[in-house]
Structure 1
């Protein structure tokens, strides 16, 4: 397949979907042939912006596209993605991969059977800030992730663990490279019917520990990853685009701040997806990586529920 032959579509034109449409339209490696939304007016408006075709039914795309971004609500990920995968269409699904590990496993099996790319939209993996941190960190002992922001009233159909924390779960798994063996967590709904804030501690088989905090009702915004390893303390500020290193010197601590140039992480993500579709590489965040993050997120959500009821412990062995 040559790059000019990659016909693309975007299904779901909400907050993230409209950004996907813009990036697909701007990328010369593909051609955006249609956008889909149940709201016909929204589909027509986005289509008009990018000179493409508006559709209301995703199934009308089958046979017309080689690859799609799926940005519908999480509860619909499996149903929509399964149809396209079975039709031999490559799919990029916004995180999380699905609303349950079993549904995610089914999509992975379908993609393997059809030989199509299944990429998950964990966009922070494409942040040059995280890329720099991952290149620098060798042996993480502790990782502390904070992802908080003010109330926006969107994505309240899912828990804050699936809405926000799952980004950092994926980053931690990529940094530590070991199996989670124990989970402690707490959280609570405040304005939404699902948990609006959550805190979790993950213990890994290699001895590393991660602390994660997520909130969508905070009084400020923060997206940071802090790592302690022998001789080093790292602070990656994903919003400010800096990586700070504090290292042990001979007599004093040496501190250095590295500024990372601006980038459009979604543009990088979609560009990588199109490269994978064209056979120029593999999906950076494939179905297995999406499943791994979802399994840990599911453990955290269960632990929160069990803690609020009786303080019970999640059985790790039952989660895989």
Structure 2
């Protein structure tokens, strides 16, 4: 192996482009190729970055040491399995897979082959930068992740596309992947998969959570409210503002001239963490088991949402 890892990105869509650009910025890795099942898309994305396009996944794997899988979620488990079987370290965008059996298989394969498997839950880096994981378990959490319709990620429901970020946060705060669904609403407009889900959960330690995710809204909303009893924290990620009525200060000051990379550019932060994990052999910041915990919560909510969308009861 050369001094720098040969990096590649599977997926020449918008988010694949973001990942490719991060490899151009980080130390320790050189972007060498981009794979896409559509040869024209692969060629365009590769030409823009001066690297080699690949339309055959086997040829792509032979050219790289590490790769990011940023293809549609329905293809994640198959591509990651093939890459791990070929001895490649993988950063896979969330979700790690769409069912727990597939996720377990990928985790076992990575561990058996002593390979790094990292999952792209980038938004947890932002929460960590705010110090949210050091404050103890709140009494109540409310998260709203409401977007306009864009036509992207329509191979999965809004649960696997957006809500899974907040399920990852809940799994960290409570240390569990188990929750009781108290109430759930769901609606599908663009097909049979839920485009809107609002769910009330009860987790370990008595934490109550209200999560909303949508791709049907006219006005985007992305905020997070945590009630600790003696005070609360409200983060608005779109306006980059916050309110903190607790006695404990947040981990970062948004008025500071220099903000931590985890907040400014969580995608680059995650890419750097992945490269560092491969280089040192240490556990990745968000490993396969962490991705599975968020997935376990998502699978239960998805099941309940599907029953509503199909006219039944959860």
Q: TM-score, normalised by structure 2?
A: 0.90
Q: Which moved more, 1:226-235 or 1:279-288?
A: 279-288
Match for residue 147 of structure 1? Answer: 145
Q: Which moved more, 1:299-308 or 1:140-149?
A: 299-308
Q: Distance in 1 between matches of 2:133 and 2:293?
A: 21
Match for residue 305 of structure 2? Answer: 304
Counterpart contact for 2:177–2:294, Cα < 8 Å: no
Match for residue 48 of structure 2? Answer: 49
Match for residue 208 of structure 1? Answer: 207
Partner-residue secondary structure (3-state), 1:169: helix
**Residues 229-248 of structure 1 correspond to what in structure 2 (within 5 A)?**
229-247=228-246
Distance 1:84 1:248, change over 3 A: closer
Give deviations 1:252-282, integer Å, cap 9, x for gaps.
xx99x94263611111111111011111642
Distance 1:104 1:280, change over 3 A: closer
Distance 1:280 1:222, change over 3 A: farther
Give deviations 1:238-259, integer Å, cap 9, x for gaps.
233333201379xxxx99x942
**Residues 212-291 of structure 1 correspond to what in structure 2 (within 5 A)?**
212-247=211-246, 258-259=253-254, 261=259, 263-279=264-280, 281-291=282-292
Aligned length: 305
- State the 1:98 CA deviation: 0.8
Structure 2 residue ranges without an equivalent (≥5): none
Q: Distance in 2 between matches of 1:248 and 1:265?
A: 27
Q: Distance in 2 between matches of 1:117 and 1:159?
A: 28
Partner-residue secondary structure (3-state), 2:280: coil
Counterpart contact for 2:118–2:284, Cα < 8 Å: yes
Structure 1 residue ranges without an equivalent (≥5): 313-320
Q: Distance in 2 between matches of 1:152 and 1:306?
A: 25
- State the 1:73 CA deviation: 1.2
Partner-residue secondary structure (3-state), 2:138: coil
Q: Distance in 1 between matches of 2:267 and 2:247?
A: 36
Counterpart contact for 2:137–2:205, Cα < 8 Å: no
